[in-house]
Amino acid sequence: MLIRNLIEKDIEHCISLFIEVFNQPPWNNKWTHDVAKQFALR
């Protein structure tokens, strides 16, 4: 396992993973890429 600081090029992968996880059970949210990106960058 490699542990390192988050860098800008990681953001898109993190957003995709966030959407994949939270848009399915048990959460069943309706995150869009734009909304998730705004949430991640605040």
What pLDDT shows up at residue 28?
Answer: 98
Residue 3 lies in a domain: no
Asked if residue 1 is part of any domain, the answer here is: no
Contact 11, 18 (CB under 8 A): no
pLDDT for the residue numbered 6: 92
The count of domains in the chain is 1
For 5-30, how does the pLDDT look when each residue is reduced to its tens digit (9 = 90+)?
Answer: 999 999 999 999 999 999 999 999 99
15 domain residue, yes or no: yes
Q: In the structure, how many helices (H) and strands (E) does the chain have?
A: 2, 0
- 19 within domain boundaries: yes
The confidence score (pLDDT) of residue 4 equals 97
CB atoms under 10 Å from CB of 36, counted, come to 19
Q: Which two tokens stand for residue 3?
A: 């542990």
Q: What is the pLDDT of residue 5?
A: 97
* Containing structural domain, residue 33: 8-40
Asked if residue 13 belongs to a domain, the reply is yes
Q: Is residue 2 part of a domain?
A: no
This prediction has a pTM of 0.82
Instruction: Give the pLDDT of residue 31.
Output: 98
